[in-house]
């Protein structure tokens, strides 16, 4: 029988790369179709982030080639700033290394896992490195191969070549196994279509394995404003958040620490807290105890706060959503809603945008007819998988759509929801669903119900006009015979009598009163093709 101490003979440390090598499903590599979409998603998201941050209108090309059954090469090229030679290895070959995780700045990627995760996936399924071509503004360009030392989570680099006359940008090419190209609802095409929908300033060119080229042209020639670093809002902070931030602070006083590190904090709020709590606000933040932090967090919830600043959050924007919906779906009607900033657990501010599109190519079409669909986004990135585990899905399910005369099972309706934040609380590392935070679900519901009321009014007016049109046609069928009979009885001209009757009918049953369809005060929010 082994002694207790023998149990720990096998105790050893493991790198994060080793962990994800054995648990690749956590990164989104769980099925052949999803794995290929995940690779494209990671590279495209990084390209859009990089080009935007450099002040460049993104122009991205994705090319797929089939090598053999369940084996493809993926090549993604952009016109961005490229990656410097001294950073490219860590950027694409080291898990949890990057420019995003440590900053409270809104970006599509967050953890510094995505692109390196693709390198790891290529290594584990084909044994081949990723090939990179990087060209900077200065004209310096190079190519190299990148792999990962999974035992130590370090990049392995080789085959460096200095290049000349290469256009600015980054090209990443890898060979991946255990993948499958699909053309269905969860395909790369659908992912790119939705990316174009939520990023109308991006131009995307897609070359599929059959060498068919599809271009999603940009519909807006305006680069979104750069998001700024955001401070956490006191509402939503946990005791642990406050303790951790305080103990790493270099401020000399707790009061100064609170005002400098959290949004909407002023001397007035400090004075308000002093009147409520028996806490020394002149002591060093590093001396903050759990007990005092608990008191402060509780007091935060009793104080009235100004809403979070919206300048730190960059939603898509009402006009951009309308332009994209019109270009891609061309609906008969659309209604866009943008909620004011709110806060969820951790003190992170967020903004919910929602839109509803009706008719055109909205919804899903099948042999049986039409049905509604939900387009989910987080920081402008499409969420195609993990539908059932998402806050957006829960919010949609909690709404009684038939109260708004909307039938999601039989009507051509598309619901568009985007959540923007400096930190999206994803349900998993694969970043395909938003955690079911109560505050986020409530905001999504309120936004969708607002949009639903707009569609309800539109449908009601359409039905009313249809009823008028029906009555108009019915009555007009009798004007010819009636005018003829009245002419014989009165001796008046039949044509004059008929025109008078038609005028009376039109006054009571107008055939085309477009103004009736537009909700008062909503003209800027509504498109009607009729």
Please, what is the average pLDDT of the chain? Answer: 83
pLDDT in tens, 415-442: 999 999 888 888 877 778 999 999 999 9
Q: What is the mean pLDDT of residues 81-87?
A: 90
Residue 129 pLDDT grade (very low, low, confident, very high; cuts 50, 70, 90): very high
Beta bridge partners of 373: 414
Residue 60 pLDDT grade (very low, low, confident, very high; cuts 50, 70, 90): very high
Beta bridge partners of 206: 62, 214
Q: What is the mean pLDDT of residues 74-87?
A: 93
What's residue 72's pLDDT? 96
Q: Which of 231-245, 372-386, 396-410 has the lowest mean pLDDT?
A: 231-245
Q: Tell whether the torsion through CA atoms of 469, 475, 477 and 480 is positive or negative.
A: negative
pLDDT for 515 beyond 50:
no
Q: Which of 31-40, 380-389, 481-490 has the lowest mean pLDDT?
A: 481-490
Question: Higher-confidence residue: 23 or 402?
Answer: 402
User: Around Cβ 508, how many Cβ atoms within 10 Å?
Assistant: 10
What's residue 516's pLDDT? 44
**φ/ψ of residue 282, rounded to 5:** -95, -5
Tell me if 433 sits within 8 A of 382, measured CB to CB: no
Integer Cα distance of 307 and 379 in angstroms: 20
What's residue 102's pLDDT? 40
Q: Which of 121-125, 492-496, 519-523 has the lowest mean pLDDT?
A: 519-523
User: Around Cβ 256, how many Cβ atoms within 10 Å?
Assistant: 15
Helix, strand or coil, per DSSP, at residue 368? coil
pLDDT for 101 beyond 60:
no
pLDDT > 70 fraction of the chain, expressed in percent and rounded: 84
pLDDT in tens, 311-327: 677 888 899 999 889 88
User: Around Cβ 63, how many Cβ atoms within 10 Å?
Assistant: 18
Beta bridge partners of 334: 357, 527
Q: Which of 52-66, 259-273, 300-314, 413-427 has the lowest mean pLDDT?
A: 300-314
């Amino acid at each position: 029988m082994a002694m207790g101490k023998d149990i720990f003979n096998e105790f050893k440390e493991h790198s994060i790369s080793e962990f994800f090598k054995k648990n690749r499903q956590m990164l989104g590599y769980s099925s052949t179709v999803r794995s290929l979409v995940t690779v494209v998603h990671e590279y495209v998201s990084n390209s859009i982030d990089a080009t935007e941050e450099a002040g460049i209108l993104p122009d991205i090309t994705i090319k797929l080639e089939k090598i053999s059954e369940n084996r493809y090469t993926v090549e993604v090229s952009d016109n961005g700033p490229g990656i410097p030679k001294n950073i490219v290895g860590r950027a694409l070959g080291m898990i949890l290394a990057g420019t995003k995780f440590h900053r409270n700045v809104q970006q599509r990627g967050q953890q510094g896992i995505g692109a390196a995760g693709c390198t790891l996936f290529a290594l584990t399924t084909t044994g081949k490195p990723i090939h990179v071509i990087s060209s900077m503004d200065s004209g310096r360009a190079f190519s190299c191969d990148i792999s990962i030392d999974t035992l130590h989570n370090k990049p392995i680099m080789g085959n460096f070549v200095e290049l000349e006359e290469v256009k600015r940008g980054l090209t990443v090419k890898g060979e991946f196994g255990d993948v499958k190209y699909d053309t269905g609802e969860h395909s790369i095409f659908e992912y790119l279509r939705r990316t174009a929908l939520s990023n109308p300033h991006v131009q995307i060119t897609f070359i599929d394995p059959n060498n068919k080229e599809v271009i999603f042209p940009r519909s807006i020639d305006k680069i979104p404003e750069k998001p700024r670093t955001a401070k956490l809002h006191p509402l939503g902070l946990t005791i642990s958040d406050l303790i951790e931030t305080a103990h790493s602070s270099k401020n000399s006083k707790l009061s100064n620490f609170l005002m400098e590190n959290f949004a909407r904090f002023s001397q007035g709020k400090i004075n308000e807290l002093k009147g409520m709590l028996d806490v020394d606000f002149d002591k060093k933040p590093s001396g903050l105890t759990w007990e005092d932090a608990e008191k402060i967090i509780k007091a935060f919830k009793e104080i009235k706060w100004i809403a979070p600043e919206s300048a730190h959050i960059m939603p898509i924007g009402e006009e951009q959503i309308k332009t994209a919906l019109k270009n891609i779906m061309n609906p008969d009607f659309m209604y866009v809603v943008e909620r004011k900033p709110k806060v969820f657990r951790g003190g992170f501010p967020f903004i919910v945008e929602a839109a509803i599109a009706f008719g055109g190519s909205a919804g899903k079409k099948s042999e049986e007819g039409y049905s509604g669909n939900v387009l989910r986004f987080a920081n402008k990135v499409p969420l195609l998988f993990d539908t059932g585990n998402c806050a957006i899905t829960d919010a949609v399910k909690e709404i009684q759509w038939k109260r708004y005369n909307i039938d999601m099972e039989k009507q051509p309706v598309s619901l568009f929801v985007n959540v923007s934040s400096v930190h999206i609380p994803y349900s998993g590392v694969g970043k395909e669903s938003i955690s079911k935070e109560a505050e986020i679900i409530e905001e999504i519901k309120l936004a969708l119900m607002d949009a639903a009321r707009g569609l309800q009014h539109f449908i009601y007016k359409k039905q009313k006009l249809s009823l008028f049109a029906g009555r108009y046609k019915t009555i007009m069928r009798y004007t010819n015979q009636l005018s003829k009979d009245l002419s014989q009885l009165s001796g008046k001209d039949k044509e004059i009598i008929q025109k008078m009757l038609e005028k009376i009918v039109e006054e009571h049953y107008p055939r085309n009163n477009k103004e009736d369809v537009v909700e008062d005060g909503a003209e800027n929010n509504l498109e009607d093709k009729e």
